[in-house]
């Protein structure tokens, strides 16, 4: 059984756990560097990216996680996408600098501006039209290197992958579909040979 970690310092952990378990994977809550041992991949959930950064450093997890995401399958959702981006704006803040994208925090507006809408697949994407739940969502302002969009919302990239990494500016764990989590598990299996 595949063991997937979920960063559990702050943010939406349980919905991801339910998706993983429904797909036959084991979900391990990650709070310390020792929790990364024997994981096939990790999910960095939505929440508050500045709080996550503070807690990652407090728990001495920043550097071990930065190393882990270089090689293991990683899904960053909303705040998790911010953590994985090479560049963060509005305001600038540190990140794990893993995916070659520039992301703008809270670019879709405040909590009151949250919405649900359909996202369309790009040419060659493994996905069909997908429901997206956008909550204080960031915007991907630029894609660089090998980063490629998989889903678009009004021609804007909202689900992007680069090698072992996937970022989503919306919350796939809050929908009925498990396709994004299933795709992530496929990537985790592939990166673990």
Q: Which residues are catalytic?
A: 78, 171, 173
Cα–Cα distance, 160 to 166 (Å, whole number): 6
Cα–Cα distance, 78 to 80 (Å, whole number): 5
CA angle 37, 189, 20 (to 5 degrees): 75
Contact 137, 183 (CB under 8 A): no
What is the rounded end-to-end Cα distance, in angstroms, of the chain? 14
Instruction: Please enumerate in sequence order all residues whose Cβ is within 8 A of that of 14, keeping only pairs 6 or more positions apart, or say none.
Output: none
DSSP symbol at 54: H
DSSP symbol at 112: G
Residue 57 has a CB neighbour count (10 Å cut-off) of 12
């Amino acid at each position: 059984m595949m063991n997937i970690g979920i960063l559990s310092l702050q943010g939406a952990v349980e919905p991801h756990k339910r998706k993983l378990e429904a797909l036959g994977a084991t979900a391990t809550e990650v709070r310390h560097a020792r929790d990364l041992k024997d994981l096939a991949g990790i999910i960095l959930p939505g929440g508050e990216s500045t709080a996550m950064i503070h807690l990652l450093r407090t728990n001495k997890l920043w550097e071990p996680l930065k190393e882990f995401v270089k090689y293991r399958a990683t899904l960053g959702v909303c705040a998790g996408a911010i953590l994985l981006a090479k560049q963060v704006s509005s305001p600038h803040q540190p990140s794990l600098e893993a995916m070659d994208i520039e992301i703008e925090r809270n670019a879709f507006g405040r909590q009151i501006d949250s919405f649900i809408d359909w996202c369309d697949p790009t040419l060659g994407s493994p996905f069909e039209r997908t429901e997206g739940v956008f909550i204080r969502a960031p915007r991907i302002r630029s894609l660089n290197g090998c980063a490629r969009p998989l889903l678009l919302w009004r021609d804007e990239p909202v689900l992007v992958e680069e090698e072992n990494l996937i970022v989503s500016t919306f919350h796939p764990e809050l929908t009925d579909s498990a396709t994004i989590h299933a795709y992530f598990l496929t990537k985790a299996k592939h990166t673990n040979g």
